[in-house]
Amino acid sequence: MKISRRSFLKTATAIGASLAWVGPARGSRVHWHERRDLYPQGVASGDPDPHSVILWTRHPFAQGTRQLLTVEVAEDESFRRVIAHAQAPVSSAADWTARVLIGGLKPARTYWYRFTDTDGNGSRVGRTITAPLPNDRRAVNFTFVSCQDVNEGSLNAYRRMIYEDERAPAAEQLDFVLHLGDFIYEVVEYPDEVKTRYDRTIYEVARIPDGLKVGNFHIPLTVDGYRAVYKGYLADPDLQDARARWPFVVIWDNHEFSWQGWQSIQKAGKSRPGQSIKVAANQAWWEYLPSRCKKVSGPSLESFDAPAVTNVAIEKWDENGLGDEPNNLAAINSLIGYRTYRYGKHLDLIITDQHSYRSADPFSDPAAGAFGPEFPSMFPEDVAQVLDGGRAFNGGNPPAEVSFNGAHVPNSQRNAPPQTILGAEQKAWFKGQLRNSTATWKIWGNSEGALDPRADPQNLPPGLTKETWPKTTYATLPTGDYGTAYKERAEIYDLVRDAKITGFAIVSGDRHSFWAGYATSELPPGKFDPVGLSFVGASLSSAGTMEAQEHNFPKTDPLRPLFLADRPDGAKPDWTHNMLLRHGVRSCLEYAKSFDLQRARSLSNPNLAPHLEFVDLGGHGYAKVRLTSNEMRTEFVCIPRPIARSERSDGGPIRYRVLHTAALWKSGERPQLKTSVLEGDVGLAI
């Protein structure tokens, strides 16, 4: 695995000026004096491998279109042992951002880096860590995070993460941060137009040039618009400190492009052809987040060189639901996000893109959406499965109609391709990566959750609602992710089982809530047969379901106790929604009546959620993973609702810390999680 200088230079020649190879250690030759104001977005590093890493900064200049910075990499924080010293071009074409690939580094080492301009004005010092060699048996430590809305919240979670990491023993310190998307929210509110939402204060983030306004949201349509949002987000001091402390490995979720968008279609309420908007989103993402993602213009790290595309409606779709239109294909392929990283003996991190190749939403037919109007957020699971399966449902014999309690509507997906989130090409790649992985743990870094959100309204006592939920089906509370992508999920889980793959686990984000459980294709009355573990990490700051429901759920709804249990003393309601997903309606009704947790849990429906060990729809924070030869430990660090910046050096108090441990299982064995509360109160999450 040792890469020679020659082969590094050969593969890196195409990168252009932005590369450096290490040499013998010597003192710094640069008269660096720190001027953070000239590097307003700080520094960052991304996608380390055992011998190289990409370093990043931004230094805008008033004069000219291209300038050179010097980058130094040292073995020590005070730069007495500088091992690389190179030129790093910045240009207006890349919004004055710089990326430099440093090669020849030693595996599993910590390095420090800094940038300096020709006047000696220096960036802050950043720290980065290379990956261990593939045969290195040391433990791997990382966090997975997502959803950092700073328009409506603060990043106290990063402050807490830094505080704890600085005090952790060296062998337990984090190797990298896996960011699973919603790094920015392209829907920006202006505090002079809207002051609050839910519990939130609206904070100034950015002003978007040449954007679009939908409701209270300003939305970018050009690369300058997206750049403005990244600059606003990266002004956050906690995010800057986190990027300066650890390398980040990143993948986008929806908001890096468009809230409800998919492929190159921009959607915020209304759909619009958005080929040029998708390219603009990719360009700004590439400029601000250093990664090894492949861009269509080639490997140069200096500028993105966006392909020219036209915004035209997509009229033809292929058999997998991919828009067969040249501008759409050019836009979604302008930057390839999916990739695999190997970290030592124990981790293959397989990262996928959930938005660029997905098929049309199969659940958008308003006729079927009107099923069961008395049951908030609930949709019949059997109907969801028919719609998800499209023309492939029931072995290619889908029903002509879907029905609920005697109401029949035509099956809108009868001739549609089965729902895919990955798209055919990425899915084939993903399966190959899974099959060929030789690491102890195969972790699927996936922005979207995969654990079923379901409830059992068929067990409600008669009389609570006018209509009775049919006895023959559960309800799903659709989240638009792998939780209702039944067919595609089963295809992947079947592969894991059939290829006898062990150590398979999913880490995801997007749901703004903490979930821990098992990867299983089916739930009762089908066969519960887990092939791996599945986790969802809470949002760092973005508002979640419980916050929304505290504000919006009708007080007089007879099913309110399934979501919120109102305390007689007028205190904040308890979040029975967590209990609904984990234990079912009987537990919720009992809890809302007696507030007796034990009695409520004794009424748990064991067939509802054997796949769930933990769910907290009101949590915020981050998840910390530790992988060894025989165990995966996943710790949820939950903080209070982050509505304002904590001035404390530890980022403020924590709500709870809960640990999910799983021993490595053998092929054919069932994975088993052990959940223990280490600290604090998890409420109704267990």
**Which parts of this chain interact with Fe ion (CB under 5 A)?**
147, 182, 542
DSSP bridge pairs for 406 = none
What six digits make up the tokens of 628? 């060894």
**DSSP per position, 572-583:** PPB-HHHHHHHT
Q: How far is the CB of 237 from Fe ion (least distance, A)?
A: 21
Taking the C-alpha atoms of residue 139 and residue 628, their distance in angstroms, rounded to an integer, is 5
Q: What share of the chain is helix, strand, coil (3-state, %, to 5)?
A: 25, 25, 50
Measured from the CB atom, the residue of 149 and 325 that comes closer to Fe ion is 149
Burial pattern 234-262, b for ≥16 Cβ within 10 A else e, equals: bbbebbbbbbbbbbbbbbbbbbbbbbebb
Q: To the nearest whole angstrom, how small is the minimum distance from the Cβ of residue 152 to Fe ion?
A: 11
CB-nearer residue toward Fe ion: 102 or 536: 536
- Are 500 and 485 in contact by the 8 Å Cβ rule? The answer is no
Q: Which is nearer to Fe ion, 380 or 449 (CB)?
A: 449
What residues have CB less than 8 Å from 556, skipping those under 6 apart? none
Nearest distance in Å: CB 335, Fe ion = 20
Q: Which residue lies nearer to Fe ion by CB, 372 or 449?
A: 449
- Smaller CB separation from Fe ion, 147 or 384: 147
CB-based contact 33:120 (threshold 8 Å): yes
Bond preceding residue 134 cis, omega within 30 of 0: no
Nearer to Fe ion, 327 or 513 (CB): 513
Kindly list the strands in the beta sheet with 475-476, ordered across the sheet, starting from the edge strand earlier in the chain: 379-380, 475-476, 454-455
- Complex with Fe ion: residue 259 or 528, whichever CB lies closer: 259
Alpha carbons 290 and 98: distance in angstroms, whole number = 9
Measure the CA–CA gap between 339 and 353, rounded to whole angstroms: 9
> What is the C-alpha to C-alpha distance for residues 21 and 10, in angstroms, rounded to an integer?
12
Question: What's the sign of the alpha-carbon dihedral 387, 390, 391, 395?
Answer: negative
The least CB distance from residue 148 to Fe ion, in Å, is 8
Q: How far is the CB of 255 from Fe ion (least distance, A)?
A: 6
CB of 145 to Fe ion, least distance (A): 11
Smallest separation (angstroms) from Fe ion to the CB of 367: 29
- Enumerate helices (H) and strands (E) in the chain, giving the number of each: 15, 37
Written as one letter, the residue type at 219 is I
Q: Which of 314, 284, 130 is nearest to 208 (CA)?
A: 284
52 vs 545, beta carbon nearer Fe ion: 545
Cβ-count burial 527-548 (b if 16+ within 10 Å, e if not): ebebbbbbbbbbbbbbbbbbbe
Three-class SS state of 481? coil
CB nearer Fe ion, residue 340 or residue 542: 542
Helix (H), strand (E), coil (C) string for 34-70: ECHHHCCCCEEEECCCCCCEEEEEECCCCCCCEEEEE
Looking at beta carbons only, is 441 or 535 nearer to Fe ion?
A: 535
Buried-exposed string 11-24: b where 16+ CB fall within 10 A, e elsewhere: ebeebeebbbbbee
CB of 355 to Fe ion, least distance (A): 12
Residue 125 or 180: which CB sits closer to Fe ion? 180
**Residue 510: CB minimum distance to Fe ion, A:** 6
Pick 323 or 449: Cβ nearer Fe ion: 449
In the complex with Fe ion, the residue whose CB is nearer, 147 or 249, is 147
Helix (H), strand (E), coil (C) string for 285-327: HHHHCCCCCEECCCCCCCCCCCCCCCCCCCCCECCCCCECCHH
C-alpha to C-alpha distance for 174 and 131, rounded to whole angstroms: 11
Q: Count of residues for the chain?
A: 686
Contact 126, 112 (CB under 8 A): yes
Closest contact distance (angstroms) between CB of 177 and Fe ion is 16
Taking the complex as a whole, the smallest distance from the CB of residue 480 to Fe ion amounts, in Å, to: 12
Closest separation between CB of residue 542 and Fe ion, Å? 5
Shortest approach of Fe ion to residue 667 CB, angstroms?
35
Q: How far is the CB of 253 from Fe ion (least distance, A)?
A: 6
Q: Give whichever of 182 and 547 is closer to Fe ion, judged by the CB atom.
A: 182
| Closest alpha carbon to 622 in 681, 513, 543, 537 | 537
Longest dimension (CA), the chain: 81
What is the distance between the alpha carbons of residues 397 and 181, in angstroms, rounded to a whole number?
Answer: 37
Q: Which is nearer to Fe ion, 47 or 256 (CB)?
A: 256
Q: CB of 489: closest distance to Fe ion in angstroms?
A: 21
Q: Which CB sits closer to Fe ion, 147 or 206?
A: 147
DSSP H or E stretch at residue 229: helix 223-234
CB of 625 to Fe ion, least distance (A): 20
How would you class 566 by CB atoms within 10 Å of its CB: exposed for 0-12, middle for 13-18, buried for 19 or more?
middle
Residue 540 C-beta: closest distance to Fe ion, Å: 9
Phi/psi at 13 (nearest 5 deg)? -55, -45
> Which class for 382: exposed (0-12), middle (13-18), buried (19 or more C-beta within 10 A)?
middle
Q: Return the number of the residue (413 or 542) whose C-beta is nearest Fe ion.
A: 542
What is the number of alpha carbons within 13 Å of residue 455 lying toward its C-beta?
Answer: 24
